[in-house]
Amino acid sequence: MKVLVSSKLYKKILISLFGFFIWASAINADSTFTNLTDQEQIRTFHNVTERIRCICIPSIAIKSCSFNNCTVSAKLKLFIENRIRAGESADLIVDKMVHGFGQDIVSDPIIAKFIETGNQGMAQGVIMGFGPDILAKPDSSWIDFSIAAAAAFGMLLIYLYLKRRTAPKAAIATESENHSSFDKYISEIEEKQK
């Protein structure tokens, strides 16, 4: 069974689907994955990750930082999970991220891995504290502008594609109309000359 859809309806459906996917991705952009299962621990995790900034992209909170693009922040998220499992509160973890966890923290597997792989800066930051710069002060206006610009550009490309796709049909119709008008004009001239 073949369903015929007009080109205008087709355009509206395409643009609506594109808008829906942009909206759906924006809704999920602020969430982060955690291995914690207890609801209270998950709330604590989200509380901490909203208040600590991403290491790779300082303008966003670590909660929104991508695992794929920033492996250091991904490991820091695992470290935060370990602290929550150890029974530390969100306020205590954030305070210790600013002021330091102390030398005892080198026994944590994530910090031990930082030291083993030569990432002394991160290890020292956790041990001695990152200072107030680790706190998230996200200014998402540039990120929001970038997303809006990308969405507008995508919609423009879809519009131009659909316009280009339907343009040859319109040109053929116009050309045939012009051709018949020209023939009519020629025949009128021939009639007058007789």
Confidence tier at 96 by pLDDT (50, 70, 90): very high
Confidence tier at 30 by pLDDT (50, 70, 90): very low
pLDDT in tens, 36-95: 888 999 999 999 999 998 888 877 888 887 766 788 888 899 999 999 999 999 999 999
Tokens of 161: 């594609």
Tokens of 125: 């930051």
Per-domain residue ranges of the chain: 39-134, 140-192
Which pLDDT belongs to residue 90?
Answer: 93
C-alpha 71/C-alpha 38 separation (Å) is 25
CB 33 within 8 A of CB 50: no
